[in-house]
Amino acid sequence: MAISVGDAVPSVALKHLTDNGMQELNTGDFFKGKKVVVFSVPGAFTPTCSAKHLPGFVQQAEALKAKGVQEIVCLAVNDPFVMRAWGEKNGVEGKVFMLPDGNAAFTEALGLTMDGSGYGLGKRGQRFVLVAENGKVTHLAVEEPGKFEVSSAEAVLETL
């Protein structure tokens, strides 16, 4: 069952790559005490994700932060190395935090996985956007398969 508005963001340990090497991040701790926008993409370097989804949040980072958002997070079922490289290629520094979910543990806990095996992708995250305040979901919009409408940075700005 998918997470819903009013639910607590699940606490899952994830690995991410920093300048000091591989670090662990606990999602329960990460979401505490702040307003966070998480947008999930099916995969780094994939067409819509690279041409529209991530760039939109990079371009709108200041506008989102002006609405009280403290963290903008790009979530993908990819490994930490790929997420870091994709972030560097897209100039996310100081704008979007790249959160790899290599084993889909967090995405599964959210109940928002999809089967991308028909495209050779295996288990992935659905395309969605989630807003959480102090660890509670206040907004959730999940895209229909193949669509990019409700999870864009512009759509999030309209809801804040």
Q: Residues with catalytic annotation?
A: 49
Distance separating alpha carbons of residues 27 and 42, to the nearest angstrom:
19
| Plot region of 122 (φ>0 → left; ψ -120 to 50 → alpha; else → beta) | left
- Residue among 51, 73, 88 nearest 156 (CA): 73
Cα–Cα dist 83/101, whole Å? 9
Rounded Cα distance between 89 and 131, Å, is 25
**Helix (H), strand (E) at residue 133:** strand 128-133
